[in-house]
Structure 1
Amino acid sequence: MYNQIIELPILKEKRISLSIKREDLIHPLISGNKYRKLKYNIERLKRSKENTILTFGGAYSNHIAATAYAGKLHGIRTIGVIRGDELKEIWQDNPTLLNASRNGMEFAFVSREDYRVDKRSGLLKRLREEFGDFFLLPEGGTNVLAVKGCEEILKEKDKDFDVISCAVGTGGTLAGIINSAGAKQSILGFPILKGDFLKEDICKFVENTNWKLCPDYHFGGYAKVNINLINFINEVNRTNSLPLDPIYTGKMIFGLIDLISKDYFKPNTKILAIHTGGLQGIKGMNQYLENKNLPLISI
């Protein structure tokens, strides 16, 4: 995917070069890092006798959407365990779940209590009784094969950048980038979740130490937004023809610009930000924003 140069007044003022790798364009329906994470997991499944993927996600999950279409594309049965049993009767009003269903995904709606990681051993037993045997793909798709796929995001030409930045959900994408980055490059991760558990999770997959997390730009947690973030995303799109999702990449770019304004980076630093996709979720977010009488996100 190509690198798009971002032009904003603050970048010129601070003499910072910012480009964004357009991984969102890698595939129209299996977007960005989800394509990378699924690549080797799908290959493994096709070599085995297993033909069913079961995975976890929320109502607007990019991972759920991508897994459903990948399953359709490769003739693999997909099952999505969806957080929130209240969705069982209204899921067809949700654009992400509706499209996943149209792409063949079956759903199991579970309560938020049962969805908790420490409750899943009993849940998985019940799911096997209901659906039969399956290949378990973790929430967000992060495992060793997913990290391997994400190691292919950076190309040889990207070695010229001083800093690589990426939004962080489960940590698999950032781990792949850390593993493939140059020794002199600095890696910044922008978590979209509250909590300090991510560092431990990422360390399971990496040995390099040239990275850090910037934990102050989650806007209150997963899928939380405010009018400042919405206006920022729309302004970037208006001035650079660059659509950003409000869950991941939008928050990461907001964080980068804020750090640049605070002189976090030396003048003449060259930054490459990774666009991890997720634009499918904007439709659902706009439903929420409309109900709250807030501005909508442009696409």
Structure 2
Amino acid sequence: MNSPTPDPADALRPRLPSPLRPVADERFERHGVRLLLKRDDLIHPDLPGNKWRKLAPNLRAARGRTVLTFGGAYSNHLRATAAAGRLLGFPTVGVVRGDELADRPLNPSLSRCAADGMRLLFADRTSYRAKHEPAVLARFTADAGAAAGTDPQDVYVVPEGGSNALAARGCAELGAELRDDPEGVSVAAVACGTGGTLAGLAAGLGPGRRALGVAVLRGGFLGGEVRGLQRAAFGGPAGDWSLEERFHFGGYARATPALDAFAADFEDRHGLPVERLYVAKLLYALSTLAAEGAFPRGTALAAVITGRPDAP
């Protein structure tokens, strides 16, 4: 077994708490809503936002063992895990959805994973969907051990997107930061892929505040995922939260000209580079919801900025 990894909070020196910055935007102000940006993208250059918050407790639990995780061809989670392995000195293995990708040149996202030392295993889509089944997971674990040259018993599994009970507890710290901030946040919103960030955010906000998740994938499954994560992490429902599932723009990594135009305009107005897979959909949703009157006048609305265009 490898020697224990340093505590990520010590070794990676994250910027915590992340800044909370008000922005003047008449699309919100005309409806009596004050917009604030929770700049979680500034936590760490290689592990920004919810990637840090979800991975850090899992890396403590892994204790320097080989980390096996899962993601698509453009997974930000795979990139962040690979970067953590490089920075902290532990082996990483990523199972990539789509065995047809093994016969193609690596895209820039997977190339970055490989450059950071991650061994990439490509799985057919049927096996990938069944990755939670014990027999399938055991096979992936054995393959990961072989790829990393370690005993499969020394492989620590982090689920797709990094979302598990440990991750939800890590993201509760995000809610606590917003709860304790003097800006008086009443609603905190985050883009959601696997639900771990929303599960923890709602728990950490405490009573009198609401968490809002904006789904970036189709399917209507996220509510069940969030409830399951809260049961595993906190023993049951925790905090006031809701999901908005109208703004996935066709699914993960899908966009429209309207979304691209909105993101470019937001960049011009506020000097914030807008990540397109998650953050653009979040901000577009919040602007639309404000226009629909979804937030009472006087709402202090915090949008959690979980990543940057040039970061994992």
Whether the 8 Å contact between 2:169 and 2:200 is mirrored in structure 1 is yes
Q: Aligned pair 1:113/2:137, yes or no?
A: no
Which runs of no fewer than 5 residues in structure 2 stay unpaired?
1-17, 146-151, 231-236
Judging changes above 3 Å, is the alpha-carbon distance between structure 1 residues 162 and 146 closer, same or farther for their aligned structure 2 residues?
Answer: same
Aligned partner letter, 2:260: I
Aligned partner letter, 1:157: D
d(CA) in 1 for partners of 2:239, 2:53: 23
Q: Aligned pair 1:217/2:247, yes or no?
A: yes
d(CA) in 2 for partners of 1:254, 1:150: 23
Shift of 1:119: 7.3
Shift of 1:153: 1.3
d(CA) in 1 for partners of 2:226, 2:182: 22
Which runs of no fewer than 5 residues in structure 1 stay unpaired?
283-299
Whether the 8 Å contact between 2:210 and 2:239 is mirrored in structure 1 is no
Whether the 8 Å contact between 1:165 and 1:190 is mirrored in structure 2 is yes
d(CA) in 2 for partners of 1:163, 1:61: 28
Question: What residue number does 1:152 align with?
Answer: 173
d(CA) in 1 for partners of 2:311, 2:185: 30
Q: Aligned pair 1:197/2:237, yes or no?
A: no
Cα shift readout 1:220-241 (whole Å, capped 9, x = no counterpart):
1111100000010111011101
Aligned-residue CA RMSD (Å): 1.8
Question: What residue number does 2:34 align with?
Answer: 17
d(CA) in 2 for partners of 1:62, 1:38: 12
Question: What residue number does 2:136 align with?
Answer: 123
| Aligned with residue 78 of structure 2, among 40, 51, 64 | 64
TM (normalized to structure 1)?
A: 0.88
Shift of 1:12: 2.5
Shift of 1:35: 0.5
Cα shift readout 1:113-165 (whole Å, capped 9, x = no counterpart):
22113675443333333332111110000111111111111311167111111
Whether the 8 Å contact between 1:96 and 1:280 is mirrored in structure 2 is no
Shift of 1:17: 0.2
Count of residues paired in the alignment? 278
| Aligned with residue 279 of structure 2, among 249, 271, 274 | 249
Aligned partner letter, 2:66: T
d(CA) in 1 for partners of 2:143, 2:229: 33
Question: What residue number does 1:177 align with?
Answer: 201
Question: What residue number does 1:287 align with?
Answer: none
Whether the 8 Å contact between 1:23 and 1:276 is mirrored in structure 2 is yes
Whether the 8 Å contact between 2:99 and 2:122 is mirrored in structure 1 is yes
| Aligned with residue 7 of structure 1, among 19, 24, 31 | 24
d(CA) in 2 for partners of 1:228, 1:158: 35
Whether the 8 Å contact between 2:49 and 2:305 is mirrored in structure 1 is yes
d(CA) in 1 for partners of 2:66, 2:220: 33
Question: What residue number does 2:148 align with?
Answer: none
Cα shift readout 1:100-124 (whole Å, capped 9, x = no counterpart):
1111000001111221136754433
Matched residue SS, 2:30? helix
Judging changes above 3 Å, is the alpha-carbon distance between structure 1 residues 61 and 237 closer, same or farther for their aligned structure 2 residues?
Answer: same
Question: What residue number does 1:39 align with?
Answer: 56
d(CA) in 2 for partners of 1:279, 1:27: 14
Aligned partner letter, 1:140: G
d(CA) in 1 for partners of 2:62, 2:105: 28
Question: What residue number does 1:29 align with?
Answer: 46
Q: Aligned pair 1:187/2:211, yes or no?
A: yes
Judging changes above 3 Å, is the alpha-carbon distance between structure 1 residues 252 and 114 closer, same or farther for their aligned structure 2 residues?
Answer: same
Whether the 8 Å contact between 1:166 and 1:174 is mirrored in structure 2 is yes
d(CA) in 2 for partners of 1:171, 1:128: 24
Identity %: 36
d(CA) in 1 for partners of 2:182, 2:157: 33
Cα shift readout 1:72-110 (whole Å, capped 9, x = no counterpart):
111111000001112113243x11111111110000011
